[in-house]
Chains A and B, each alone.
Chain A
């Protein structure tokens, strides 16, 4: 099969869309059991499968069509209420979703023909589905052979699946034959657009023998057509006879749902009903014009009678003309009303290449930098107008930056809902009953972060399920409900997004962690560690307290990877645990990776940037510290880091030094600096690989002056300070 560039592009869209649809299917399947009125969900699942099958057919991916077809048939019986939702059914359908994803993945990898190994696997899955199909279809399936095409056709006999989606009502004009056109040839041509499921020739119009003119056309046809073609395409078949003949093309009952769904899915803008209908293909432009003409002439007549009695509505006329059925009009009208109701609640989306978006963000970053440069110059200048205009410009740049970053923000909910499936599968595997509770799914976070966080989250979720939540017997013994609860939560906190994975299981066993850590030589035998530090040990490489290994977790691979991944995102992770009650893993991540609001500080000749959202306050360094490494901040110990000595900066210590108090995850630390230079919007430039081992520096940025400033990694610096100040008592008594 050879694909030209255009085809390949379309294929890419197909794969992306199919993957999204599969996601919808999976979510639907997972929710359908819990739903009180699952019909909407079932419809959504069916539509997803239907669309995948249809699109796959367009690309001639027959193996996908064949497989999806069976899934679709089962879903169809489900939709018709022939079978009901059951755990078994869901359990049989979910692997089918996976299998379709696998097949589409093959397409992504350039394999457009069927893989025999996958086909065999698919057969097994389909056999699982067979029990849900009854009657004829069932028998056909049992004797399933290797030829999918045959199977699909055989299954068509089952009924519902092969009903057409268009009803065509054709009455050819009397002069059609004389004009040199043969109605049957139109039907022959029509059959190239789709399958003619049923056709009835209407010959009642043929008059008695004497009156019958052999050259006059008397025939009409009622046709049920199954086709992916649009209404306009079908109408075009009859282009040459449209004027003299009566051609009505109606979506069939099964298609009405699709149309109504289409109408609801239309982008929310205010349109005329007619255009709305044309837009989705329920009627064609010609039909609209015809109806509009009727409306107009109706109006003219009516004007004489009663001006207030409005002309027939366009919807009514269209139904009269048999262009559309009432339900479609109703749906369109509802949509029209909705549009008026919430014009502002736009919910449109455009698919944009991620690369273009990155480019835009990059450019905005550069804009921010040069904007800062201009601003700096203007402040020195004595031109007041320039200053004013620059400040305007800066405000705009800030807005552009914010909205550009907003573009990349996606709700984390989609990532979370993926875990429904994981929890379901793993809990089955482990034989534990576990419920997943999701909250904060609407919390938005940078797309690149969302992508990278899903693996670490997976580890944490599996870990909690395996080690955290106890087996049911043990839970009952401990007086807890047999069903364990796993929570995923997300929220924003001081410029961070916080993602929590918590369980109501046994919690972390401090004693065992300590024993293990000593055994592995990670800590000294009599080391004094805070709870936090003990819990942090589980993120050390090769650390696992699980008494027995399972294939899910416990090999000690994972938690250290989690930590590494999170750290790579400039985030951090902490653990809260109460023995016997449960544990919470909390991941802190920056909202975005690209641009930060920074605070400029000067030490000697060097300039540093501290992320503004980490700073809680600035104060002058009291003169009586006596070079202690901590000060008393309103009764609390504030460990200090002298940046001058940390980064070995030479130069004289100024008479007055300042302390920048930074806070992270409840820990405060003070940085001793020379100068406070003020806020600075900045773009993070990653350090080259050579410098990645340097601790305490998160990146660099270019100042308006063209100088390079290092961005401090507050998290690691705080860790450094707290570790160094382990021995200091938690509170100092005011002297």
Chain B
């Protein structure tokens, strides 16, 4: 299982870069894990990417899980009422 930690913010400013990066990561294995502990900031653009990843993974029968959600990520998932959709066990990162 491949694991990737996103080390940057997930916002409109980094979205294009992150999209490329993350989609490439999606190709690396059938079972993937993305660590969100260091996502200090996330906005709608970032959220879209997470949704896209999830969807692409599902359509390619890959298993992707998001772990160690940072506070910013949790807040935005809650706001968009997507916590259940993401279906992961939400584990808080230790700050």
Contact = CB atoms under 8 A, between A and B. Distances in A.
Interface of A: 172, 176-178, 180, 182-185, 187-188, 198-201, 203, 206, 209, 212-215, 217-219, 221
Contacts of A176: 44
A215 B48 CA distance: 9
A209 B21 CA distance: 12
B44 A183 contact: yes
A218 B81 contact: no
Given A206-B51, A209-B52, A215-B16, A188 B79 contact: yes
Contacts of B56: 209
Contacts of A206: 48, 51-52, 55
Contacts of A221: 80
A203 B52 CA distance: 9
Contact of A199 (B43, B51, B80): B80
B78 to A, nearest CB: 10
Closest 8 pairs (CB-CB, A-B): A214-B15, A214-B19, A201-B80, A199-B81, A182-B43, A214-B16, A183-B44, A203-B51
Contact of B45 (A188, A203, A215): A215
B12 A215 contact: yes
A508 B92 CA distance: 85
Given A182-B43, A209-B23, A215-B16, A187 B48 contact: no
B76 interface: yes
A30 B23 CA distance: 69
A214 B81 contact: no
B52 A212 contact: yes
B3 interface: no
B48 A214 contact: yes
A211 to B, nearest CB: 11
Contacts of A219: 44, 47-48, 80
Given A184-B47, A206-B51, A215-B15, 9 more contacts: A177-B43, A180-B12, A182-B44, A184-B44, A184-B76, A209-B23, A214-B15, A217-B44, A219-B80
B18 interface: yes
B75 to A, nearest CB: 9
A240 B4 CA distance: 37
Contacts of B80: 184, 187, 199, 201, 219, 221
A236 B52 CA distance: 31
A218 B48 contact: yes
B43 A184 contact: yes
Contacts of B36: none
Interface string B8-46: 000010011011000100000000000000000001110
A116 B65 CA distance: 53
A201 B15 CA distance: 19
B49 interface: yes
Interface centre among B52, B56, B82 (most CB of A within 10 A): B52
B85 to A, nearest CB: 8
12 contacts: A177-B12, A177-B44, A184-B76, A199-B81, A203-B51, A203-B55, A206-B48, A206-B52, A209-B52, A215-B12, A215-B16, A221-B80
A218 B82 CA distance: 15
A182 B10 CA distance: 13
Contacts of B48: 203, 206, 212, 214, 217-219
Contacts of B23: 209
A184 B18 contact: no
A525 to B, nearest CB: 91
A177 B15 CA distance: 11
Interface of B: 12, 15-16, 18-19, 23, 43-45, 47-49, 51-52, 55-56, 76, 79-82, 85
Contacts of A200: 81
A176 B16 CA distance: 15
A198 B81 CA distance: 8
A187 B43 CA distance: 12
Nearest to B18: A214
Contacts of A187: 79-80
Nearest to B49: A214
A468 to B, nearest CB: 66
A182 B23 CA distance: 23
B51 A177 contact: no
Contacts of A180: 12
A214 B51 contact: no
A21 B69 CA distance: 50
A218 B47 CA distance: 11
B37 to A, nearest CB: 21
B79 A184 contact: yes
A178 B85 CA distance: 27
Contact of B19 (A198, A201, A212): A212
Contacts of A212: 19, 48, 52
A178 B12 CA distance: 8
A135 B79 CA distance: 30
Contacts of A198: 81
Contacts of B18: 214
Nearest to B11: A182
Contacts of B82: 201
Interface centre among B16, B18, B45 (most CB of A within 10 A): B45
Contacts of B79: 184, 187-188, 199
Contacts of A217: 44-45, 48
Contacts of A203: 48, 51, 55
A201 B52 contact: no
Nearest to B53: A209
B77 to A, nearest CB: 10
A182 B16 CA distance: 16
Contacts of B81: 198-201
Contacts of A188: 79
Contacts of A209: 23, 52, 56
A176 to B, nearest CB: 8
A684 B82 CA distance: 76
Contacts of B15: 177, 214-215
B56 to A, nearest CB: 5
A112 to B, nearest CB: 34
A218 B15 CA distance: 14
Contact of A177 (B19, B45, B52): B45
A201 to B, nearest CB: 4
Contacts of B12: 177-178, 180, 182, 215
Nearest to B15: A214
Contacts of A172: 44
Contacts of B44: 172, 176-177, 182-184, 217, 219
B76 to A, nearest CB: 6
Contacts of B52: 206, 209, 212
Interface centre among A184, A187, A188, A198 (most CB of B within 10 A): A184
B55 A214 contact: no
Nearest to A212: B52
A94 B10 CA distance: 58
Nearest to B60: A209
A169 to B, nearest CB: 15
